[in-house]
Chains A and B, each alone.
Chain A
Amino acid sequence: MMPDLGKYADAVLSAYAASIVLLVVLVVMTVLRGRKVRAEMARIEEQRSKNG
């Protein structure tokens, strides 16, 4: 299944690994920060509605 990358296997695999890691880190950090801010927003809104 794995294609024969020949003498350039290290270059090709490291390019894919580095890119996929960077993309995954970007998506994960984006979603984590989004959830944190959303939770903070919900907490503040709730507090405001309690205080009238």
Chain B
Amino acid sequence: MGSMSLWEYANPKKFLTTSERILPFFWAAAAVCLVVGLIWGFFFTPDDFRQGSTVKIIYLHVPSAMMAINIWVMMLVTSLIWIVRRHHVSALAARAAAPIGIVMTLIALATGAIWGQPMWGTWWAWDPRLTSFLILFLFYLGYVALWEAIENPDTAADLTSVLCLVGSVFAILSRYAVLFWNQGLHQGASLSLDKEENVADVFYYPLLVCIAGFVFLFIALVLYRTGTEIRARRIRALATRTRAQA
């Protein structure tokens, strides 16, 4: 009896048929969690005693910042799989994820600035976490630009994988900068295994629903976009073959 293996999905056809079957679930789960989480957070949670109504920004800022870092980690894993096993679907999944990472980083930076202005009195500070996040954003842009700049898809996958490895330093710094330097304006983790550090329950539960919504949205988007990249690669390969035959 043949056992199921994760590597089966390295086959583009298998990936496309499976992802098309499960995509409706992830789109629906993303829509439900985002609508429920954001409405709960915006309309049905109280103001914070220090931060007033700005605490409502947490439902966008924390999930987008978490996704910005975790998407880079996902790209790192898929890039390493490409480097080691040369599975095209893996490299294309990393390529497909990067623009989602750009948008998540942009939302985290924008909501952070909008939140920071009334709370810290400034839109921006060269704080360790904020600075490493800005550098992560620049790495995302560079990563996408590198894919676009190189014609040969295998060379592009190789070079972007190396760039992804280097950028991982900043993804990790974005997460742990507060611990490394213990300075700057930005607070520590909003969610942590240490209950003492967590935000209060009244904010915590809608925040969890929003995080689930962002995760489901990312999964739906990355599956859909990887499918698009697989088809685009096939179109390019066919065009090259046709040109060679002509």
Interface residues of A, Cβ cutoff 8 Å to B: 1, 3-9, 11-12, 14-16, 18-19, 22-23, 25-27, 30-31, 33-34, 37-38, 40-41, 44, 48
Contact = CB atoms under 8 A, between A and B. Distances in A.
B235 interface: yes
25 contacts: A3-B42, A3-B43, A5-B56, A8-B53, A8-B54, A9-B53, A11-B114, A12-B54, A12-B57, A16-B57, A18-B107, A18-B111, A19-B110, A22-B106, A23-B217, A26-B100, A27-B217, A30-B225, A34-B224, A34-B225, A37-B228, A38-B231, A40-B235, A41-B234, A48-B238
B228 A22 contact: no
Interface residues on B, range: 20 to 34
B72 to A, nearest CB: 17
B216 interface: no
A44 B238 CA distance: 8
Contacts of B57: 11-12, 15-16
Nearest to B102: A26
A34 B20 CA distance: 13
A41 B107 CA distance: 33
Nearest to A29: B99
Nearest to B107: A19
Nearest to A5: B53
B52 A6 contact: yes
Given A19-B64, A27-B221, A31-B224, A41 B235 contact: yes
A37 B231 CA distance: 7
Contact of B110 (A12, A18, A34): A18
A32 to B, nearest CB: 10
Contacts of A25: 103
Contact of B47 (A6, A27, A30): A6
